[in-house]
């Protein structure tokens, strides 16, 4: 009897990663990583995705027993398997990715938003195990979101729901990378934290990063701010506290909208650990509409790290019902 294989692909603006899984084992049998081609044309990126899949295919595969899940950033129509747009890949608009992959590999193919896949990974194999209702936030270069309710992804009518990073939290706030103003991503992502730090340093604030800023402002990054905060730099700790306050108010609103059992925070910004998590928990408790929303609620860090999307792809291949509207073959 042929063994069921799952292939997960994480398509990012910088790298394309792919992993081959056997059964429910989250340790990949094979793994590959390559650069995402920087080109205005679709074809080289599609070929790079196909090459990544080819790299991890088992020898002489029976494609009838292979499932492929591809996670991509931005709005995705999982029902039709189309990438509607991708913020870091401008040429990807209304791209029928599933159909293209099927022409190359007649397997079972799923297309999903990358943050949704990360949410599925955490639900099935990570910090969300045992829960049926979670809100997942990926705090990194951007802010992605995934909402799971009743054990299934919340997608909306066209599969475009739960873009939590693009909810307006301050109408007078900075412009987001998507072009709108005051979105959560524009206030609490890694680049947003760095931008605010540079603005305050330009205004004369003192920090252990001041000398570095005067030498080259662009070297002040969220990673360096996190390092400085861990080392006790008061300026950096204030930035972290301000970011936590924004996130806490947003999460408190999410409690009223989704009533989750768990709020799971992942992405590079979570390298701050309890420096960020502790004030978020305190702020959510202060801002929640009613105490009942806090009962049986856990706010925690993600467990799967950079592999959340790949493991989420495995979860989707194993249980397509997690993403409503997914094809069965």
Question: How confident is residue 1, by pLDDT bands cut at 50, 70 and 90?
Answer: very low
Protein fold of 5-119+307-322? Nucleotidyltransferase; domain 5 (3.30.420)
User: Which residue in 246, 236, 298 sits closest to 271, CA to CA?
Assistant: 236
- What residues contact residue 255 under an 8 Å CB cut-off, 6+ apart? 263, 284, 288, 289, 293, 294, 297
Query: Mean pLDDT: which of 103-112, 206-215, 236-245 is highest?
Result: 236-245
Per the CB < 8 A criterion, the answer to whether 111 and 70 are in contact is: yes
% of the chain residues with pLDDT over 70: 97
Domain positions in the chain: 5-119+307-322, 129-302
For the cut 80, the answer to whether the pLDDT of residue 121 exceeds it is: yes
What is the per-residue pLDDT for 136?
98
Average pLDDT over residues 12-36: 91
User: Which residue in 248, 245, 235 sits closest to 198, CA to CA?
Assistant: 235
What is the per-residue pLDDT for 200?
96
Question: How confident is residue 261, by pLDDT bands cut at 50, 70 and 90?
Answer: very high
Average pLDDT of the chain, as a whole number: 91
Question: Bigger pLDDT: 13 or 36?
Answer: 36
pLDDT digits (tens, 9 = 90+) for 189-235: 999 999 999 999 999 999 999 998 898 888 899 999 999 999 999 99
For the cut 60, the answer to whether the pLDDT of residue 329 exceeds it is: no
- What residues contact residue 40 under an 8 Å CB cut-off, 6+ apart? 90, 91
pLDDT digits (tens, 9 = 90+) for 276-295: 999 999 999 999 999 999 99
HSE-CB of 191 using CA atoms within 13 angstroms: 10
Sign of CA dihedral 263, 264, 269, 270: positive
What residue ranges in the chain does DSSP mark as E strands? 5-11, 15-22, 30-35, 66-72, 76-77, 82-83, 108-113, 134-139, 143-149, 152-153, 262-266, 298-301
Same fold, 5-119+307-322 and 129-302: yes
Per the CB < 8 A criterion, the answer to whether 146 and 118 are in contact is: yes
By the 10 Å C-beta count (0-12 exposed, 13-18 middle, 19+ buried), 281 is classed as buried
Residue 151's alpha-carbon distances to 47, 71, 93, 109, in angstroms, are 34, 19, 30, 21
- Answer CATH for 129-302 from 3.30.420.40, 3.40.50.11900, 3.40.630.30, 3.40.50.300: 3.30.420.40
CA distance 245 to 258: 20
pLDDT digits (tens, 9 = 90+) for 50-92: 999 999 998 877 887 899 999 998 888 999 998 888 766 777 7
CA distance 98 to 117: 16
């Amino acid at each position: 009897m042929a063994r069921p294989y799952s292939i997960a692909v994480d398509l990012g603006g910088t790298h394309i990663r792919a992993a081959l899984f056997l059964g429910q084992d989250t340790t990949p049998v094979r793994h590959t990583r390559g650069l995402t081609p920087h080109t205005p044309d679709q074809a080289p990126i599609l070929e790079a995705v196909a090459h990544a899949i080819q790299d991890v295919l088992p020898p002489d595969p029976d494609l009838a027993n292979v499932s492929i899940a591809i996670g991509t950033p931005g709005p995705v129509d999982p029902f039709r398997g189309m990438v509607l747009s991708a913020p870091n890949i401008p040429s990807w608009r209304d791209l029928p990715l599933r159909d293209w992959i099927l022409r190359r590999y007649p397997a079972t193919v799923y297309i999903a938003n990358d943050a949704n896949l990360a949410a599925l990974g955490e639900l099935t194999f990570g910090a969300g195990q045992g829960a049926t209702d979670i809100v997942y936030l990926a705090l990194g270069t951007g802010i992605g979101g995934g909402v799971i309710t009743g054990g299934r992804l919340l997608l909306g009518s066209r599969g475009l729901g739960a873009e939590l990073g693009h909810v307006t939290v301050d109408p007078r706030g900075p412009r987001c990378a998507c072009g709108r103003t005051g979105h959560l991503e524009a206030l609490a992502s890694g680049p947003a934290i760095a931008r605010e730090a540079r603005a305050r340093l330009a205004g004369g604030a003192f920090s252990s990063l001041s000398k570095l800023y005067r030498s080259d402002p662009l070297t002040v990054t969220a990673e360096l701010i996190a390092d400085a905060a861990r080392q006790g730099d008061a300026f950096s700790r204030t930035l972290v506290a301000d970011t936590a306050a924004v996130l806490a108010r947003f999460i408190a609103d999410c409690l009223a909208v989704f009533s989750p059992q768990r709020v799971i925070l992942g992405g590079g910004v979570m390298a701050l650990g309890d420096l960020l998590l502790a004030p978020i928990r305190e702020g959510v408790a202060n801002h929640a509409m009613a105490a009942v929303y806090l009962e049986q609620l856990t706010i925690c860090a993600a467990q799967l790290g950079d592999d959340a999307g790949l493991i989420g792809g495995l979860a989707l291949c194993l249980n397509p019902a997690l993403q409503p509207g997914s094809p069965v073959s």
